[in-house]
């Protein structure tokens, strides 16, 4: 098998704590990164090339997301605010004040709603056509929130917290309809591409849940504390990263390890597959993003050309 040569994307000066890809657009996919340096960055998804930096937050940025078309970005930060940006011009469109640190953000698929998850244990739903209106409130977690998602059909909200629960909320009735107990603080949740599965990370475990019945389908444990996981668009495999600096790739059906690589120089805080499944991105305590090939040795993006490697084996951008 060919040797994995991840692309190393520099630019941040502090730990990278969240990542998100857009869908594939006419200009390709795009990748946004949240960092404790307070300066979220936008990059080309296929190559990691820098596109721009969103300037405006006055504290660490904990959450970042793009809408499907990569025309809007949203960020949540330690300055008690969430911001919505024009992802083409970099201009701030809306600023939403909170009562505590904003840890997570998510757009609805039609870009009409913005969800925020806050250190004050509250999920807020902002309706972007009426940005001055008070947000809808989803309240019930007993410890700070780490991650929030809105379902593909925009009827449900999923939120993960330090209270060892994933709560499911009916967005039309603004009430909780389900609580999924995980046994450890929830650090990450993500949907499968088709929206039928929820991938959750809690402690040293990755679990997979049916998003219609709210039942756990399967789970597997690792020898290290994990922070993030992502399922391939075709559901054949998933990747995960955590405290031991490694990137793990597992077979989804068999829950067996396929590959593992040690490329970062600090814990891995976030991992995400690109929308076409050709690569996955990771962000680390070491302040870098790395892009990894799903099929090692395949011509794709900057892997088409001859590469100049540093001593760690990374291709530098």
For residue 244, the Cα-to-chain-centroid distance in whole angstroms is 19
272: containing domain:
7-316
2 in a domain, yes or no? no
267 in a domain, yes or no? yes
**Which tokens in the block code for residue 268?**
């891995």
Domains identified in the chain, total number: 1
CA atoms within 13 A on the CB side of 221: 6
For residue 192, the Cα-to-chain-centroid distance in whole angstroms is 12
**Distance in angstroms (rounded) separating the CA atoms of residues 117 and 98:** 10
23 in a domain, yes or no? yes
- For residue 179, the model assigns a pLDDT of 97
The CATH number of whichever domain residue 126 belongs to comes to: 2.130.10.10
**Which tokens in the block code for residue 186?**
């929830």
CA-based torsion, 281, 211, 200, 59: positive or negative: positive
261 in a domain, yes or no? yes
- For residue 36, the model assigns a pLDDT of 98
**Distance in angstroms (rounded) separating the CA atoms of residues 226 and 250:** 14
259 in a domain, yes or no? yes
- Sequence-distant (≥ 6) Cβ neighbours of residue 14 within 8 angstroms: 35, 36, 37, 60, 287
- For residue 314, the model assigns a pLDDT of 55
1 in a domain, yes or no? no
- Low-confidence stretches of the chain (pLDDT < 50) are 305-312, 315-317
172 in a domain, yes or no? yes
60 in a domain, yes or no? yes
């Amino acid at each position: 098998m060919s040797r994995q040569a991840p692309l190393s994307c520099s630019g941040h000066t502090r730990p990278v704590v969240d990542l998100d890809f857009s869908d594939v657009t006419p200009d390709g996919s795009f990748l946004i990164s949240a960092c404790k340096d307070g300066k979220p960055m936008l990059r080309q998804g296929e190559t990691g090339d820098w596109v721009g930096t969103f300037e405006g937050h006055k504290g660490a940025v904990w959450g970042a997301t793009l809408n499907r078309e990569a025309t809007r970005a949203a960020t949540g930060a330690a300055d008690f605010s969430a911001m919505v940006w024009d992802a083409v011009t970099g201009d701030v469109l809306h600023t939403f004040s909170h009562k505590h640190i904003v840890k997570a953000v998510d757009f609805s698929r039609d870009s009409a709603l913005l969800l925020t998850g806050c250190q004050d244990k509250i999920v807020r739903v902002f309706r972007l056509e009426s940005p001055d209106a008070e947000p809808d409130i989803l309240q019930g977690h007993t410890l700070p929130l780490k991650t929030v998602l809105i379902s593909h059909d925009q009827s449900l909200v999923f939120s993960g917290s330090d209270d060892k629960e994933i709560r499911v909320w009916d967005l039309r009735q603004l009430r909780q309809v389900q609580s999924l107990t995980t046994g450890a603080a929830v650090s990450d949740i993500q949907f499968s591409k088709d929206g039928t599965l929820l991938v959750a990370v809690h402690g040293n475990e990755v679990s997979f849940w049916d998003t219609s019945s709210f039942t756990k389908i399967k789970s597997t444990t690792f020898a290290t504390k994990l922070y993030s996981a992502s399922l391939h668009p075709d559901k054949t495999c998933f990747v995960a990263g955590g405290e031991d600096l490694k990137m793990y790739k597992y077979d989804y059906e068999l829950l067996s390890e396929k590959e593992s690589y040690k490329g970062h120089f600090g814990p891995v805080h976030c991992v995400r597959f690109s929308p076409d499944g050709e690569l996955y991105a990771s962000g680390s305590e070491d302040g870098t993003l790395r892009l990894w090939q799903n099929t090692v040795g395949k011509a794709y993006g900057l892997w088409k050309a001859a590469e100049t490697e540093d001593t760690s084996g990374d291709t530098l951008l």
